[in-house]
Amino acid sequence: MTVLVTGGAGYIGSHMCLALLEQGEDVVVLDNLSTGLRELVPSECVFVKGCVGDEHVVRGILARHDIDAVIHFAGATVVPESVERPFFYYRNNTAATRNFLETVSDHGVGRVVFSSTAAVYGTPESGTVAETAPTAPASPYGRSKLMTEWMLEDGARAGAFRYVALRYFNVAGADPEGRTGQSTPRATHLIKLACQAALGRVPHLGIFGTDYPTPDGTGVRDYIHVSDLVVAHLLALRHLRRGGESGVFNCGYGTGYSVREIVAAVERAADCRLAVREMPRRPGDLASVVADPGRLKARLGWTPRFDDIDAIVGSALAWERGLALDGTVLSPLVGRPRTPALQINYPT
């Protein structure tokens, strides 16, 4: 059995590939390298450069590999960018995924694990948000992902496949062994930018909004370590392979940190003062987004291992230190040169 990982050259996808290989799975990666990096794909994976919406490429993979499940990461993820470029998000996330789901289900692939997002909820009424909360996305990004959840629901109802949609809160940190990490060019994530500011790679960190109705006025988020997130995917895959029902699960810890608290954590990790600049709110941002992860723990048996903001920030900073000034991955595994994954170009 082989797992097809879309977006496997990206930040979360590359961590997923390592975890699947450790479980003894065969892995095929499909990635168009629009934001992903080929050198992050482990050399044991088969790598196919292409778009998930390109049915010829996807059919080529399905014809040559015994794919029993897909883990679908590929997509654009930046909330403010989606406000500026809504049609790009609907094409890249929703329309491409529609093609992908049709192609894999026509081929009889019966298990889909999908990267959804906390952005489907919109403004939570209070405290933590559970899967039963109403969906009301505040950005085109959140809508593009919610539409995919609806397609999955309809596909499952029609018997096309069973699926697990994982609603990620704020994914952060890097592989504790230093094999991969957040390397996306022009990344907009708070923890990455704060680490870059600590290392003097950007002149300062902007704090987007200081007048939110939160304890210190800055945005509050639930930061989940990427390695714990990846384990949620392994559990989802096991659940589907055992015949488990389709479902939607939050992926977060249930604890919120403000932007200022993240700044303080990075200052502790880097042992320096960050240059910060207070800025206006960013379009599409919400005040506070914190998960209720009860369902993931109860139904899939998920137990977080890295629920510690200092561990998250420490691993992110360690990875950032290994990147060149232009963001090039210099030493994914310190002292060991990396062999690129075998690339196969299927005829289209």
* Interaction site with ligand UD1 (CB under 6 A): 77-79, 117-119, 168-170, 188-190, 193, 205-209, 219, 221, 259, 282, 285, 289
What is the DSSP code string of 111-174? EEEEEEEGGGS-S-SSSSB-TTSPP--SSHHHHHHHHHHHHHHHHHHTTS-EEEEEEE-EEE--
Closer residue to ligand UD1 (CB): 109 or 172: 172
Written as one letter, the residue type at 206 is: G
Residue 223 known to be catalytic: no
The nearest distance, CB 97 to ligand UD1, in angstroms, is 15
Q: Which of 141, 168, 212, 223 is catalytic?
A: 141
Nearest to 140 by CA among 130, 148, 128, 132: 148
The nearest distance, CB 119 to ligand UD1, in angstroms, is 4
The nearest distance, CB 107 to ligand UD1, in angstroms, is 29
Alpha-carbon separation of residue 284 from 123, 226, 339 (angstroms):
11, 23, 40
Contact 174, 187 (CB under 8 A): no
Structural tokens at position 142: 């959140």
Closer residue to ligand UD1 (CB): 32 or 258: 258
Give the residue carrying structure tokens 């995917």: 233
Alpha-carbon separation of residue 333 from 62, 177, 307, 329 (angstroms):
32, 8, 24, 10
Kind of pairing, strands 220-221 and 257-258? antiparallel
The nearest distance, CB 266 to ligand UD1, in angstroms, is 12
Q: Which residues touch 337 (CB under 8 Å, ≥6 apart)?
A: none
The nearest distance, CB 190 to ligand UD1, in angstroms, is 4
Closer residue to ligand UD1 (CB): 270 or 341: 270
The nearest distance, CB 280 to ligand UD1, in angstroms, is 10
Closer residue to ligand UD1 (CB): 160 or 230: 230
Across the chain, which distance is largest between two alpha carbons, in Å?
Answer: 56
Closer residue to ligand UD1 (CB): 207 or 300: 207
Q: How far apart are CA 246 and CA 7, in angstroms?
A: 22
Closer residue to ligand UD1 (CB): 111 or 189: 189
Q: Which residues are catalytic?
A: 141
